Structure 1
Amino acid sequence: MDKLILEDGDTLYLKLYNLLKKDIESEKLTYKLPSIRKLAKKFKVSNFTVIKAYELLEKNAYVFSKKGSGFYIKYNRNNHFFYPEDYMVNEEFKYNYFTDNCSIDFSSASPKNNFFPIDILKSTINSILDTQGEKALLYELPQGNIEFRKCILKTLKTMDIETKLENIQIISGAQQGINLISQVLIQNNDIVIVEDPTYKGAINSFKEKGAVIERIPLDKDGINIELLENFLKYNQIRLLYIIPIFQNPTGITLSQEKKYKLLNLAEKYNFYIIEDDSSSELYFKDKIFPLKSLDNKDRVIFIKSYSKIFMPGFRIGFMIVPPSIVSEVIRTKYSTDISTSGLNQRIFQYFLENNIWMDYIFKLRKEYSIKQELLYNELSTITEISFNKPQGGLSFWIKLPPDITGEAVYFKLIKEGVRIIPGVVFSINYSNYLRLSFAQCNSNQIKKGIKLFKKVLSELININ
């Protein structure tokens, strides 16, 4: 069993809980937990601290207690699963989309498929095949179809981004962009800084290339600049990965002041910033411009995915790559999958040029601003939780009472037919958080789901 780091006395039992949970999941503990007195002596903590940690493990279905005998391991890796939309890049849990009968889905942050312009998609495909024939189905250049890239170059002007055609790289979704940059820039033991919490797919990609991950917590207006700068004074980093607009999972948007500070730090300490943008179009008040729009030193690698809010299976996006690494990115892209689907590139070019994309986004903003307001009002009736209202996006980041974990809520809600994502999916430091997304829910489902959430939360609170 690893060493228990003692810092905050009021959360000591949570530290012990997370340590024991990790040992159970890795099967270091497989039958029975040590006695309360033995563990308290080992870590020099009170019996009460151990009892609270054990009770939390029991509440989260990791152990069960036998009166007079102790606590026994109940956890089964094959049955322990969560339900986020980015399940394929989270190696810690088994995800299975066919093992429950949930009718209310607060886990997916992708728009419901009834918004997809399927009829327009069909006619667009037919038109492309009629006019371009087999050419539309051949391999494209690794960097992407030149006409599509020209179209993107025009679109970028609406985002206040200035770049050159040769710096635009077409990719098959944001994850591929992150993977490509990891392969090109990261060497073993390079330091990569990420926000805490953040999208785990990015962290996995960096780790696969041997990066050392450092986490910097978020303030209400984005990454904590003071902590970041203090770290940079004594450490050379390779990359900073951020989601500055409607951050996943918190929904936080980076302030204008911090945007300028980040760019100055990147120049001063010589590192790149990966800006991951998957949902900036879904603003409900004022339009927010990317960090890249302020970048005049080519410090920001801008990754834009259209898949997330269009059709998750329609893998398409692009990167703006600094001139110094363009050639290497193209070579790496070619060695990875030769090129992104030429048909998909032509389809999306047609959507952009004929305002189909913008009409779709306008419809989403209108619909989801109403849903966000409804969910906000429903959540506001729950006094035991705390949260902020994002300026856009499709989710809320909920802080639970300190002795209630997101996992406990998850397991109880799944039995009620409701899916959520516990905070530990994004960071082990946020065990008493969860993310609620309203993308897949109608008004009745939102109301019913929050009613069940209240019920479950009340049950968990009354256990203590």
Structure 2
Amino acid sequence: MLIELDRTSTVPLYRQIAEQLRARISSGELVPGTRLPPERRLAAVLGVNRTTVVNAYRELAADGLIVGHVGRGTIVADPSRLHEPGTPASGIPWPQLFTPATDVMNDPLLQDTMLVSSRPDVITFATGMPAPELYPIATMRQLLDEALHQAGQSLLQYCPAEGYPPLREALASWIAPSGMRFGPDDVLVVAGSQQGLYLLARALLEPGDIVAVESPTYLGALQVFRAVGARLLPIPVDQHGMRVGLLEDVVARRRPKLIYTLPTFQNPTGTTMSRDRRERLLALAARYQVPVIEDDPYGALRYAGESIPPLAALDQHGVVLYLSTVSKILFPGFRIGWIAGPRPVIERLAILKQIVDLDTNPLAQWAVWAFITRGLLDAHLERLRRHYPERLERMLAALERYATGVLEWTRPAGGFYVWCRLTDGLRARDLLPEAARRGVAFAPGESFHPDDAGTGTLRLNFTFPPVTAIEPGIARLAEAVQALRSIRLNGEGSRRARVVAPIV
């Protein structure tokens, strides 16, 4: 569903917005209880002043089509009440009862991106997934058959909330060569790193607490921190990772409750924090007693350069909570991740995890344990480290061939992503519909920022699309950028320059 603004029309912009929303409410596209975007957000999406959206909403409210609720936003009214005053609405107006925390996924840009990516004719660079054709399915089938045959009864029952004990031991041993000194009791198995982030946020944060985060950073972390009511303190990222010098300038004044970082092959930029910055970050965290969440889903996927020890390996003061997952290196669908950290934290998180889900799938935990202890995971990683660099080189070569002059990009030393910047002040949100028309999708960079920055950036995943699709996908993307440049150059002030933007 789109709102189209014709800036050459004599009809005021607020009336155009109001009339299009009115039509969608009347047609049933916007059902009673639907939450409309906040005024400020819709204004930013449409590129208009907030007052314009306020006036549009006021006109609709005057007609009884929408109602505002303090703390819940603007809601589409029940039309039956317009014609039959005093008649109660049928059923419970569920959308009006949801808390603001449930709005964290309401990102129009991402919803539009996901919709485009789901089309079968689209080459998508938007996802954060590994290559499905490289999944070791045959091996895993044999392991699961073995598990069910030998220990099916026990593995199909509950297991300890802390995790399957052999897996906790295997994980502690597997990460030890990188310098991390954790025992099995210092490891908590979670249902993917996203659950790990949620548990950490629930255990350590209260509404109003400040979390220092990289800008840009992992979208899922921003959603979790916002859901628990935290305030986000953005720290810029450059080619050497988080700018720790800027963090030092604000920690003493703002006193964040947590520092969150992806220091190795960061999502979305692909950058890696230098060792010097890692050591400065740890010293800063120890001096001010601020815990550091180190999110490390990509650290095993290095394709060039020398490895840098994880923060958890350099930590001498017990300030780091290490978070990782098999989702990027094995199967996302297994939902197996882990947190390693000081034992009091692990014990408290295990209690919280019992409330959330009792335990994580024992059968999947057994399979990951077998994969690690039999050397299969290391062999699989070697395979990935052979294939993924080829895909990265194809993407970089295609960008050089088709996108020189319209995009700027960085070369990552590992991970999943190439981070790009549009030239000439173009915005990624305006590029989305042009790309969709040409059958290609990307992740808009501003969705990864905790503030309003990054409008001209985009993230491209090179691991998920088939090798043969990478070059044509980049060619389509470059065509979309050229089309957007042409519209901007030739269409400003004309009907071709109208804004087309999603509202839900």
User: Is 1:175 aligned to 2:194, yes or no?
Assistant: yes
Q: Look up the SS of the partner of 1:361 in the other structure.
A: helix
- Equivalent pairs counted in the alignment come to 395
Which sits farther off after the overlay, 196-205 or 441-450? 441-450
The residue number in structure 2 matching 1:378 is 398
Q: Do 1:102 and 1:416's aligned partners in 2 also have CA atoms closer than 8 Å?
A: no
1:68 match: none
Tell me the CA shift for residue 378 of structure 1. Answer: 1.7
- Can you list the C-alpha shifts for 1:254-295, whole angstroms capped at 9, x where unaligned? 000000000000011110000111111111023343111101
Please name the residue that 1:92 is paired with: 107
1:301 touches 1:321 (CA, 8 Å); kept in 2? yes
RMSD over equivalenced CA pairs, Å: 2.4
1:323 maps onto 2:338 in alignment: no
CA deviation digits over 1:156-182, x for unaligned, max 9? Answer: 112211112211101110100000000
Q: SS in structure 1 opposite 2:178?
A: coil
**2:382 corresponds to which letter in structure 1?**
F
Q: 1:431 aligns with which of 449, 452, 455?
A: 455
1:361/1:22 CA distance change after superposition, 3 Å: farther
2:178 matched residue in structure 1:
159
Equivalent positions of 1:145-156 (< 5 A) are: 145-156=164-175
Alignment-derived partner of residue 81 in structure 1: none
Letter in 2 for 1:373: E
In the TM superposition, 1:259-278 aligns within 5 A as 259-278=278-297
Q: In structure 2, what residue type is equivalent to 1:242?
A: T
**Matches of 1:423 and 1:274, distance apart in 2:** 22
Contact 1:109–1:438 (CA<8 Å) still a contact in 2?
Answer: no
The letter of the residue matching 1:269 is Y
Report whether the alignment pairs 1:446 with 2:465: no
Q: Residue 257 of structure 2 contacts residue 290 of structure 2 at CA under 8 Å; is this kept in 1?
A: yes
Is 1:201 the counterpart of 2:226 in the alignment? no
By how many angstroms is 1:329 displaced? 0.9
Shift of 1:29: 6.3
Residue 11 of structure 1 is matched in structure 2 by none
Judge conservation of contact 2:262–2:295 (CA < 8 Å) in 1: yes
Identity %: 27
Equivalent in 421, 428, 434 of residue 399 of structure 1: 421
Whole-angstrom CA distance in 2 between matches of 1:264 and 1:366: 36
**Residues 1:333 and 1:27: Cα distance change in structure 2 (over 3 Å):** farther
Counterpart in the other structure of 2:326 = 306
Within a 5 Å distance, the mapping from 1:34-53 to structure 2 comes to none
Q: Distance in 1 between matches of 2:328 and 2:443?
A: 17
SS at match of 1:213: strand
| Residue 336 (str. 1) matches residue 351 (str. 2) | no
Deviation string for 1:285-313 (max 9, x for gaps)?
23343111101211010001111332211
Alpha-carbon offset, residue 326 of structure 1: 2.6
Cα deviation per residue 1:315-362 (whole Å; 9 max; x = unaligned)?
001101223323211110111100111111100000001111111111
Within-5 A mapping of 1:105-144: 105-144=124-163
Q: For the structure 1 residues 152 and 282, does the alpha-carbon distance in structure 2 shift closer, same or farther, using more than 3 Å as the test?
A: same
SS of equivalent to 1:365: helix
Q: Tell me the equivalent position of 1:9.
A: none
**What do the CA deviations read for 1:352-382 (whole angstroms, capped 9, x no partner)?**
0111111111111111101111211221231
* Cα deviation 1:137-193 (Å, max 9, x = unaligned): 111111111111111111111221111221110111010000000011001211101
Q: CA deviation at 1:403?
A: 2.3
- Once the two structures are superposed, the pairs formed by residues 61-80 of structure 1 within 5 Å of their partners are none
Counterparts in 2 of 1:29 and 1:388: CA distance versus 1, 3 Å: farther
| SS of the residue 1:307 aligns to | coil
Among candidates 224, 241, 252, match of residue 233 of structure 1: 252
The AA in structure 2 aligned to 1:372 is: L
Task: Give, in whole Å, the separation in 2 of the partners of 1:207 and 1:353.
Answer: 38
Local SS of the residue matching 1:386: strand
Shift of 1:20: 5.3
Deviation at 1:431, TM superposition (A): 0.6
Larger radius of gyration: 2
Partner of 1:74: none
Are the counterparts in 2 of residues 89 and 200 from structure 1 also a CA contact under 8 Å? no
Q: Describe the SS at the equivalent of 1:158.
A: helix
- Tell me what 1:410 maps to: 432
Unpaired runs of 5+ residues, structure 1, are: 1-14, 33-87
CA offsets 1:235-260 (integer angstroms, 9 cap, x no match):
21110111111111000100000000
Change (3 A) 1:29 1:306: farther
Structure 1 residue aligned with 2:206:
187
Q: CA deviation at 1:30?
A: 4.4
User: Does 259-268 or 226-235 show the bigger shift?
Assistant: 226-235
My pick for the range that moved more, 333-342 or 421-430, is 421-430
Say whether the 8 Å CA contact 1:239–1:274 is kept in structure 2. yes
